């Protein structure tokens, strides 16, 4: 029996799912006594350091946690569950941590995109039971803006490199804690969790111990989901956002089965977009939530879900906030949510007033779940102009001239699945959303969507150079070399595709096989 400390701040379902998939039973802490009586305690922290410690204090968990840690029983902290063990954090300087490990938690100070999101390696520093059966060169999933800095080098279990070397796991007797997420790290992550759970596992030092580690470029499979005309929930795919073929919604398969298949083939992440979210309200769209629940029981890589995340008033006049909608998605197994149309509305309001409202969906969800959980999905379309001064937008010079030979263009944001263009450009939208607290940009391109013509590198370069958060390049992948192009010629951290995966024209394994040895990827 594994005891799980869920202090109610976010998605711990994936941890429960991962442990249950190993055949274990999970008991969730409901009162302080449950911590004291635990035999093996797992603490997956979520959210922010200050609010986590506030809840632990309010619930009376701090004393029992300190007693448990001192008792010599097994403990596994994950992410913020690692940070909690330290004395303090730069994320909330006035707040005291549990102080089990001397040292502090520091904000990443690197000349790279923060949060550090994705699959990175471990330089293993000492033997541990966690490593039984691992070769040592595996990559694990990270998503964080802060990292720990223990004073005692003896506590360092692994380090990882991202701009500089930081401590990515600690070990002090039976107390283990990782910055990365084993529950989101595929088969190797499950193995690591199993090593923690199983009795009689020996401490091992894997054979391969890289001195330096590298963050992998991610390959993401995207599933656009909607009900077809018969009411079945299907994965569909548009050509420049038009998903109908001979009047019918294209049906490319069942969402859970496809997601499971992509996970098995090596997808680093799965994204679901409820493409009718702008007109249907997700909380009434129970099948979509069920898709997420079922997928998260079988798929152990990060899941993003988008569509319909905004404030909503139902027919009875009950008002739902975007935060409530997101909360339901997180509870159902999402690790990140993606906001499309509402991000445009929020950015327009911000530009008009010149100040943050403080209660926009982006700000609220980032405050409660952290920036890394908020992805902005941008649906831009090229608008050509003869001269940069013709419009008050971020204009680029393009190597692909317009129909009248125009040498310049800007990328117009659209809402409602591309149906409505707005007076806002994609570069400005990305910048504003970053300022409001978004953690990642999913950069689509309507002109390229479903064309197999390759990514719009000009768009990706323009947005990537305007923001400091990671960018997912999307739309247009048709061949393996398109992925190499996007990684060699832009700074995008990941590349997303849909059509070629669904139609099995270019499977994920083929993309990864082609990229191996050319760019850093997760094997």
Contact residues toward ligand 1PR (CB under 6 A) are 222, 224, 237-238, 241, 243, 273, 275, 277-278, 306-309, 338-342, 377, 379, 417, 444, 449-450, 474-477, 496-499
Q: Please identify which of the residues 379, 434, 440, 458 carries the catalytic annotation.
A: 379
Q: Are 175 and 154 in contact (CB under 8 A)?
A: no
Nearer to ligand 1PR, 66 or 479 (CB): 479
Nearer to ligand 1PR, 393 or 448 (CB): 448
Q: Please identify which of the residues 6, 91, 138, 183 carries the catalytic annotation.
A: 183
- φ and ψ at residue 469, rounded to 5 degrees: -100, 160
Cis peptide bond prior to 115, omega within 30° of 0: yes
Does residue 413 have an active-site annotation?
no
| Longest pairwise C-alpha distance within the chain | 75
3-state class (DSSP) for residue 150: strand
Nearest approach in angstroms of CB 440 to ligand 1PR is 13
Q: Could you tell me how many residues make up the chain?
A: 523
418 sits in the region (left: phi over 0; alpha: psi -120 to 50; else beta) called: left
Nearest approach in angstroms of CB 368 to ligand 1PR is 18
Nearer to ligand 1PR, 118 or 277 (CB): 277
Nearest approach in angstroms of CB 415 to ligand 1PR is 6
Does residue 222 have an active-site annotation?
no
Does residue 482 have an active-site annotation?
no
Nearest approach in angstroms of CB 225 to ligand 1PR is 9
Centre a 10 Å sphere on the Cβ of residue 390 and count the other Cβ atoms it contains: 14
Nearer to ligand 1PR, 49 or 501 (CB): 501
Nearest approach in angstroms of CB 222 to ligand 1PR is 4
Q: Please identify which of the residues 79, 409, 413, 433 carries the catalytic annotation.
A: 79
Nearer to ligand 1PR, 210 or 253 (CB): 253
- The residue with tokens 């283990």 is 176
Nearest approach in angstroms of CB 269 to ligand 1PR is 13
Closest residue (Cβ) to ligand 1PR? 417
Own/partner contacts of 18-24, CB < 8 Å, gap of 24 or more, are: 18/182, 18/183, 18/189, 18/190, 18/193, 18/300, 19/183, 19/193, 19/197, 20/297, 21/190, 21/297, 21/298, 21/300, 22/190, 22/193, 22/194, 22/197, 24/197
Q: Please identify which of the residues 6, 91, 194, 224 carries the catalytic annotation.
A: 224
Does residue 224 have an active-site annotation?
yes
DSSP-assigned letters across all residues of 278-289: TTS-GGG-HHHH
The Cα–Cα gap between 370 and 375 comes to: 11
How is residue 33 written in tokens? 């006594």
Nearer to ligand 1PR, 224 or 335 (CB): 224
Does residue 183 have an active-site annotation?
yes
The Cα–Cα gap between 305 and 307 comes to: 7
Pairing mode, strands 88-89 and 103-107: parallel
How is residue 254 written in tokens? 């069942």
Nearer to ligand 1PR, 53 or 441 (CB): 441
By C-alpha distance, which of 81, 287, 322 is closest to 178?
81
Nearest approach in angstroms of CB 122 to ligand 1PR is 31
User: Which residues are identified as catalytic?
Assistant: 79, 181, 183, 224, 379
């Amino acid at each position: 029996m594994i005891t799980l400390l869920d202090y109610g701040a976010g998605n711990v379902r994936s941890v429960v799912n991962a442990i249950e998939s190993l055949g274990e039973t999970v008991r969730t802490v409901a009162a302080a006594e449950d911590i004291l009586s635990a035999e093996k305690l797992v603490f997956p922290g979520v959210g922010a350091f200050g609010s986590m410690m506030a809840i632990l204090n309010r619930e009376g968990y701090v004393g029992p946690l300190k007693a448990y840690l001192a008792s010599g029983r097994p403990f596994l902290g994950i992410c913020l569950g690692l940070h909690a063990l330290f004395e303090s954090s730069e994320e909330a300087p006035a707040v005291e941590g549990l102080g089990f490990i001397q040292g502090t938690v520091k904000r990443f100070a690197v000349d790279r995109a923060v949060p550090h999101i994705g699959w990175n390696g471990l330089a293993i520093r000492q033997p541990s039971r966690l490593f039984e059966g691992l070769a040592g060169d595996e990559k694990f999933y990270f998503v964080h803006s802060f990292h720990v800095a223990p004073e005692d080098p003896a506590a360092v279990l692994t380090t990882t490199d991202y701009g500089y070397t930081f401590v990515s796991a600690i070990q002090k007797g039976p107390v283990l804690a990782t910055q990365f997420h084993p529950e989101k790290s595929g088969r190797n992550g499950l193995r690591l969790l199993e090593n923690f759970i199983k009795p009689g596992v020996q401490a091992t030092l894997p054979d391969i111990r890289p001195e330096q580690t590298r963050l992998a470029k991610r390959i993401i499979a995207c599933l656009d989901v909607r009900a077809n005309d018969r009411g079945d929930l299907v994965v569909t795919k548009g050509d420049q956002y038009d998903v109908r073929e001979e009047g019918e919604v294209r049906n490319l398969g069942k969402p859970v089965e496809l997601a499971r298949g992509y996970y098995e083939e090596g997808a680093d992440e799965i994204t679901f977009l409820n493409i009718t979210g702008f007109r249907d309200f997700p909380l009434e769209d129970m099948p979509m939530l069920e898709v997420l629940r079922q997928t998260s029981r079988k798929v152990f890589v990060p899941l993003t879900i988008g569509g319909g995340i905004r404030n909503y008033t139902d027919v009875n006049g009950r008002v739902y906030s975007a935060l409530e909608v997101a909360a339901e998605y997180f509870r159902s197994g999402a690790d990140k949510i993606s906001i499309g149309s509402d991000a445009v509305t929020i950015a327009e309001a911000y530009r008009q007033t010149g100040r943050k409202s403080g209660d926009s969906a982006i700000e609220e969800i980032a405050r409660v779940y952290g920036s890394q959980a908020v992805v902005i999905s941008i649906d831009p379309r090229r608008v050509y102009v003869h001269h940069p001064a013709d419009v008050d937008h971020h204009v680029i010079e393009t190597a692909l001239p317009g129909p009248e030979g125009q040498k310049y263009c800007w990328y117009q944001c659209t809402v409602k699945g591309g149906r409505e263009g707005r007076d806002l450009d994609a570069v400005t939208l990305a910048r504003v959303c970053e300022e409001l607290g978004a953690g990642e940009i999913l950069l689509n391109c309507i002109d390229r969507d479903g064309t197999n013509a390759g990514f719009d590198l000009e768009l990706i370069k323009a947005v990537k150079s305007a923001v400091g958060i990671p960018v997912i390049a999307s739309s247009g992948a048709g061949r393996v070399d398109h992925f190499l192009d996007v990684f060699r010629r832009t700074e995008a951290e990941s590349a997303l595709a849909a059509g070629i995966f669904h139609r099995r024209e270019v499977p994920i394994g083929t993309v990864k096989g082609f990229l191996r040895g050319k760019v850093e990827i997760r094997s």
